[in-house]
Every structure is written in C-alpha cells, then in structure tokens.
Amino acid sequence: NMQETSSQDVTMITCTAPVNIAVIKYWGKRHEELILPINSSLSVTLHQDQLKTTTTVACSRHFQEDRIWLNGKEEDINQPRIQSCLREIRRLARKRRSDEDLSNDISLAHRVHICSVNNFPTAAGLASSAAGYACLVYSLSRLFGVDGELSLVARQGSGSACRSMYGGFVQWKMGERQDGKDSLAEQVEPESHWPELRVLVLVVSAERKLVGSTSGMQTSVKTSKLLKHRADCVVPGRMEEMISAIQRRDFAAFGELTMKDSNQFHATCLDTYPPIFYLNDISQKVISLVHRYNQHYQDTRVTYTFDAGPNAVIYTLEDHVPEFIQVVRYFFPPETNGGEFVKGLPVGPASLSEDLKTAIGLEPVPKGISYIISTKVGPGPCVVEDPKLHLLNPEGLPK
Ligand code: DP6
C-alpha cells in the first residue's frame, strides 16, 4: 500500500475530511448514545482547500495504550464518543477478517495513536466536530482496511459528522430502526453538480460561551413543542423540496428554503425552556442585509444559514460574490490593519451603487465581522499520499 508508511513496526496513514453546513438542520435526538436524530437533515460539503481536518493514525505492537492529540494537545482517549468510533471500526474490521481471512493485515490487538489538526482556528466557531469525527473514522477505516457503511460509525462520534463522509450535497436519513442501522448519510448529488454555487463564511466576533449542540438539543427535545411539530410535520416535506431544488439547480427555491429552515431552527431554540440564543445583533443585521439585498433585485440571490453560534454562512452564485462582498465590507467596515478581510477563494473587484446602499439602508457596524472565508462545494474525505505530511513521527509521537 503506497499511502501507508511502515517503519520500526509502526504503520501509519493520514487522511483529511471536510466541514459541512446544513441547509435542513439536525436538532434533537431520539437516542443519545447511538446518536439517532428526530428528523432527517441535508447539508453541503465545503471544500477542503479552505476548511479541513487532517488526522494521522498509527498502530504498532510497541504502543502501550490508545492515545489522541487534538490541535497539539493530548486529550482523554476515554471520551465515550471516541470510544464508540474505535469500537465500531474494530468491530467492522473483525467482521471483514472473519469473512475473508486476511492473515497479513495489521493486528486488531495493537493500540493506536491518533493526531488531528484543523486548518482553521477553533476560535472561528465553526462546527469542527463534524470534520473531526469524519476524519477519525475515515483514517481508522483505511488503517484497518475496513469498508462498509462508515457514515454509521461517524454518526456515533457526532451526528453531523455522518454527512462529512461524502462530498457534494448529502442527506442524513433519520431511519426507523431501534439499532440505528438505517440512520445513515447518502450523497444526493456530487460536488460537480452545481459548479457556480459559492459559500461565504462570515466570522462574527463572539464573546460569550454558547450552549453546546449536544446539551442544547437535549433541552429542546424535553421542552419545545415547536421542535416536535417541526420534526414530525415540517421537515419531511422540506427534505423532498430541498432535494428537488438542488437537483434542478434552482437557487431561488434552494435559498428560500435554506433561510426558512435556519429561522425555524432558531425559533425552536427560542421555544426551548429556558430559551437558547445563538444569534447575536450582528447575525440579525446580516439577516436584514440579505433580505434587503434580495428585495432590491426582486430575486433570491443570496441566502444565509446559522448553526449553534452567531457566524453566518452565505450561499450564493459565483456571479454575485464580488458585489455581495462589497456590500458586507461597506456595512461592516473591517479593521484595516492585520490580515486579509477575505480569505480563501479569490474574489474579483466590484463597485457598489448608491442605489443599492440606500436600498439596504442599515447603519454600518465597524468590525462587526472579523473576516470572511470564501469557499465552494467540495469532495469527501481523502487519503494524503505524501508521507512527509504525517502528523506523527516514526515513533508514533506528534512531530
Ligand atoms: C446546529 O452534530 O454537533 O449544526 O450529534 O450532539 O454531536 P451531536 O451534535 P452536532 O449538531 C449539529 C447541529 C447543527 C445543525 C446541523 O449541522 O445539522
């Protein structure tokens, strides 16, 4: 195997996995340990050139125990969700070996060392757990030579992680079974399907500590009747509508549904008791700005969505990116010193008409947005071929 590096009895492999941003949101579990959701969800996989997790996994008969390092710091390997992923991968590997008897494969009794880093700051407040668990599961599967439905394993690390196992447009079917075997991710369309689609992550400077998704959704399931109504009566129809909008590349339909679903998710947070607030005043200004921008053109050209934090994720088409970036720059004048305001995919120049400024008519908020990550739809997890990029040294310790 080309991608595996073996020296001094240490076998290692490095993989990368993407972030995904839901357009039909997952919020609420029907089973905590198995991570089974109360509704299906659908997301767009973002390109790994801008946002990714890289993970090296190594295994050796000399390792004394399983160990994990995340973003440079050793963490507790005994976290239940990490243990679920390790257990499920070892189970799949054992199953395959008893089926095929691959006697020269690496031993399942060997301990593993895991080292993982993100190419984006955790402070950016982007859900890194999805990319993190997807990368862990994908890397372990390559190390142990496992195939089978890996999204079932990633789901047990973090629900949204199952959608990061595929590129393009991905649905997580909630499933019906008690054992969760039918609660898995499926690609709706590949990343090549809609090449004009662009993604802008508007990183909002947040001070407060937010309620985490795991505990937030527990409180919502316990207390919000709106959440139950959403899961039972609203999401099933929206899943069909969203899949159809994507298949037809109908941006107006895709955009309107994305905004409505984000708004309904945040409405269920407000309906939770005690209520949960993820949007701040900057988020609300972004919402107004998007609606006034679309209103001006009498067309849904730009759409927003928000997860469990104040950052806005904007979907739009390539042609509208330069002007919309100018709009954001005008209404949220950035700090001029320090790094670039727009990171990632280059954005061309554009002018801003007085007409458009007047139509939007908001009071500018200096430094309301720290920076923008400009990206697009991307592929699923990949193996890194270059052994120089391993995060562990030949002894299996962080470089
Ligand atoms: C708002 O997948 O982070 O981003 O399953 O408890 O790990 P756990 O939760 P997580 O929740 C993501 C919630 C969301 C919506 C979404 O991504 O669908």
pLDDT given at position 9: 86
Q: For residue 366, count CB atoms less than 10 angstroms from its CB and return exposed for 0-12, middle for 13-18, buried for 19 or more.
A: exposed
Length of the chain (residues): 399
Q: How many angstroms does the Cα of residue 167 sit away from the middle of ligand 1?
A: 18
Q: Do the domain assignments include residue 301?
A: yes
d(CA 357, CA 288): 13
Mean pLDDT, residues 35-59 taken together:
98
Q: Do the domain assignments include residue 239?
A: yes
Q: Whose CA is nearest to atom 4 of ligand 1?
A: 307
**pLDDT tens per residue, range 77-131:** 999 999 999 999 999 988 877 776 555 466 778 899 999 999 987 766 676 799 9
d(CA 348, CA 319): 10
pLDDT given at position 107: 73
- Whether 338 shows a pLDDT value over 90: the answer reads no
SS3 192: helix
Q: How many angstroms does the Cα of residue 108 sit away from the middle of ligand 1?
A: 31
Residues 311 and 186 in one domain: no
How is residue 192 written in tokens?
A: 């090549």
d(CA 129, CA 19): 9
Q: Do the domain assignments include residue 394?
A: no
Residues 142 and 172 in one domain: yes
* 128 Cβ closer than 6 Å to some ligand 1 atom: no
Residues 92 and 236 in one domain: no
Domain assignment of residue 88, given as a range: 5-192+384-389
Mean pLDDT, residues 35-42 taken together:
98
* 261 Cβ closer than 6 Å to some ligand 1 atom: no
Q: Do the domain assignments include residue 398?
A: no
What integer best gives the mean pLDDT of the chain? 93
SS3 148: coil
**pLDDT tens per residue, range 121-172:** 776 667 679 999 999 999 999 999 998 999 999 999 999 999 999 999 999 9
Residues 239 and 332 in one domain: yes
Residues 124 and 205 in one domain: no
Whole-angstrom Cα Rg for the chain: 22
Pick left, alpha or beta for residue 220 (phi over 0 → left; psi -120 to 50 → alpha; otherwise beta): alpha
* 269 Cβ closer than 6 Å to some ligand 1 atom: no
* 216 Cβ closer than 6 Å to some ligand 1 atom: no
Q: How many angstroms does the Cα of residue 343 sit away from the middle of ligand 1?
A: 25
Q: What is the share, in percent, of the chain residues with pLDDT greater than 70? A: 93
Residues 223 and 160 in one domain: no
d(CA 103, CA 119): 37
- Whether 336 shows a pLDDT value over 90: the answer reads no
CATH code, domain carrying 115: 3.30.230.10
Confidence band of 24 (pLDDT split at 50, 70, 90): very high
How is 61-117 classified by DSSP, letter by letter?
TT--S-EEEETTEEE-TT-HHHHHHHHHHHHHHHHHHHHH--TTSPPTTSEEEEEEE
How is 273-338 classified by DSSP, letter by letter?
SS------HHHHHHHHHHHHHHHHHTS--EEEE--SSS-EEEEEEGGGHHHHHHHHHHHSPPPSSS
Amino acid at 44: V
53 vs 126: which has the higher pLDDT: 53
Q: For residue 233, count CB atoms less than 10 angstroms from its CB and return exposed for 0-12, middle for 13-18, buried for 19 or more.
A: exposed
* 118 Cβ closer than 6 Å to some ligand 1 atom: no
* 156 Cβ closer than 6 Å to some ligand 1 atom: no
* 36 Cβ closer than 6 Å to some ligand 1 atom: no
**pLDDT tens per residue, range 276-330:** 999 999 999 999 999 999 999 999 999 999 999 999 999 999 999 999 999 999 9
* 310 Cβ closer than 6 Å to some ligand 1 atom: no
Q: How many angstroms does the Cα of residue 217 sit away from the middle of ligand 1?
A: 9
- Whether 224 shows a pLDDT value over 70: the answer reads yes
Residues 223 and 265 in one domain: yes
Residues 163 and 207 in one domain: no
d(CA 143, CA 368): 44
Q: How far, CA to CA in Å, does 382 sit from each of 14, 134, 150, 240?
A: 9, 11, 14, 29
Mean pLDDT, residues 186-202 taken together:
98
- Whether 265 shows a pLDDT value over 50: the answer reads yes
Which atom of ligand 1 is least distant from the CA of 158?
A: 7
Q: Do the domain assignments include residue 396?
A: no
CATH code, domain carrying 268: 3.30.70.890
- Whether 337 shows a pLDDT value over 70: the answer reads no
* 185 Cβ closer than 6 Å to some ligand 1 atom: no
How is residue 165 written in tokens?
A: 């196992």
Residues 132 and 258 in one domain: no
Q: Do the domain assignments include residue 103?
A: yes
Q: How many angstroms does the Cα of residue 91 sit away from the middle of ligand 1?
A: 25
Q: Do the domain assignments include residue 78?
A: yes
Q: Do the domain assignments include residue 397?
A: no
Residues 12 and 34 in one domain: yes
206 vs 22: which has the higher pLDDT: 22
Residues 290 and 213 in one domain: yes
Q: What is the share, in percent, of the chain residues with pLDDT greater than 90? A: 87
Confidence band of 2 (pLDDT split at 50, 70, 90): very low
pLDDT given at position 21: 97
- Whether 378 shows a pLDDT value over 50: the answer reads yes
Q: How many folded domains does the chain comprise?
A: 2
Residues 205 and 256 in one domain: yes
Q: Whose CA is nearest to atom 11 of ligand 1?
A: 213
* 380 Cβ closer than 6 Å to some ligand 1 atom: no
